Amino acid sequence: MSGERTPEDKYVSAQRRRYLYIILFLAIAIGIAVYSFGVGSAVIDFNIAIKVIIDRLNGIVPDRSVDYWAWLRDMLVIEDTVPRALGGLIIGAILGVCGAVMQTCVRNPLASPYTTGISAAALFGVTLSLVLGFRFIPIPGETGLIMNAFILSMFPCLLMIMVSVKRKTTPTMLVLIGIGVMYLFNAFTMIMKYRAEPDVLKQIQLWSIGSLTGIGWSAVYVLFATLIALLIFMLCFSRKMDVMASGENQSISLGVRPDRVRIICMVAISACTSVAVAFSGAIGFVGLIIPHLSRLFVGSKSKMLIPCSAVLGALLLIASDVVARLLGNGLPVGAVTAVIGSPVFIYFLIKMRSNGWGK
């Protein structure tokens, strides 16, 4: 019976395959990110971009007064394409993880990081600033706009905490509160839009689709710190989350208070999503579909699902950004994620004949 594999062997090989999937996706994501350095600008192709980066790593910084073109190329690569690619990777990862955690928390395949109304609130913040010129923190330019989006997007979070202090919350209730908040802020936004100038309208629309333009190094630092904190936090909580997902009664009898874990996780991911949304706008699809796709590859266990959602999210967003830039025309990345992601998702849904939810 030497050919028979024991269940233990099967588990180990399945686990190894899951790690391989994650590493493979990570490699592809990084490959596309490197490729993206040379995309989208007429004066820079891939070789020049790599040369500029190698020069920088060797400490060679071109002087503007000596060689203007070298300086310009350096500026474009170092200040625009590199932070944009890094930002895309990180935002995709954040949205993927937050989506996976949100779906586990509320036990609903329709949930996304925006289920609690974060994107609607952030959009209202942006609209306030663009239409009325109102800013919570009076800084001109992009920073004020980002702060507006961030501050308002914390509102759903606060509401959830307030409700959970007063009452015992259920997943459905949290989801319904999210729907209410979303509609409320969307209504405010619509009423402001209704009196807005056409070009402001276009700006708001672009923001609501989401794009990666204008992400600089300061944004990358903030986003990176957020991602690391999120990953560490969620991996520490992954065991408790799995217990919580097994059902209210089971998790109480196993010594985990489901409502408490749920609220802590949701507040944490809401804060991280707020950061991502504030910098990039409400990029949809990634947070909703990536966790499902990850479930098809690595199953529903949070310890594998969270890293896999992170790398797949990064992969989808950076690939979409490359496609958007290749197509040109200022196409926002949020419009492309679905074009690439939907067929892939439907293909795997059919091919695997399961939805990874075990029902």
Under a CB-based contact definition with an 8 Å cutoff, are residues 120 and 185 in contact?
yes
Burial of 6 (0-12, 13-18, 19+ CB in 10 A): exposed
The smaller minimum CB distance to other proteins, of residues 34 and 192, is found at 192
Binding residues among 58-117 for other proteins as defined by CB under 8 A: 108-111, 115
Out of 52, 163, 287, 321, name the contact with other proteins by CB under 8 A: 163
3-state secondary structure 167-219: CCCCHHHHHHHHHHHHHHHHHHHHHHHCCCCHHHHHHHHHHHHCCCCCCCHHH
The smaller minimum CB distance to other proteins, of residues 78 and 184, is found at 184
The smaller minimum CB distance to other proteins, of residues 128 and 335, is found at 335
Burial of 103 (0-12, 13-18, 19+ CB in 10 A): buried
Q: How far apart are CA 258 and CA 245, in angstroms?
A: 8
Out of 105, 278, 283, 335, name the contact with other proteins by CB under 8 A: 335
289 binding other proteins? (CB under 8 A) = yes
The smaller minimum CB distance to other proteins, of residues 175 and 275, is found at 175
Nearest-approach distance from CB 353 to other proteins, in angstroms? 5
Q: How far apart are CA 194 and CA 155, in angstroms?
A: 24
Nearest-approach distance from CB 165 to other proteins, in angstroms? 12
- Interface with other proteins (CB under 8 A), residue total 56
Q: Cα 54 from chain centroid?
A: 29
Q: Which region among 86-94, 163-171, 234-242, 258-266 touches other proteins (by CB under 8 A)?
A: 163-171
Binding residues among 170-209 for other proteins as defined by CB under 8 A: 170, 172-173, 175-177, 179-181, 183-184, 186-188, 190-191, 194, 198, 201-202, 205, 209
Residue whose token pair is 């925006």: 114
**DSSP category for residue 128:** I
Q: How far apart are CA 124 and CA 130, in angstroms?
A: 10
Q: Which region among 71-79, 121-129, 212-220, 327-335 touches other proteins (by CB under 8 A)?
A: 327-335
Nearest-approach distance from CB 12 to other proteins, in angstroms? 27
Q: How far apart are CA 34 and CA 230, in angstroms?
A: 24
Alpha-carbon distances, residue 308 vs 5, 98, 113, 141, 334 (angstroms): 27, 12, 16, 36, 21
The smaller minimum CB distance to other proteins, of residues 62 and 156, is found at 156
Nearest-approach distance from CB 354 to other proteins, in angstroms? 5
Under a CB-based contact definition with an 8 Å cutoff, are residues 73 and 50 in contact?
no
Q: How far apart are CA 168 and CA 304, in angstroms?
A: 30
- The residue among 53, 135, 47 whose CA lies nearest residue 86 is 53
Out of 87, 88, 284, 313, name the contact with other proteins by CB under 8 A: 284
Nearest-approach distance from CB 359 to other proteins, in angstroms? 5
Q: Which residues bind other proteins (CB under 8 A)?
A: 108-111, 115, 163, 167, 170, 172-173, 175-177, 179-181, 183-184, 186-188, 190-191, 194, 198, 201-202, 205, 209, 284-285, 288-289, 292, 329-332, 334-339, 341-343, 345-346, 349-350, 353-355, 357, 359
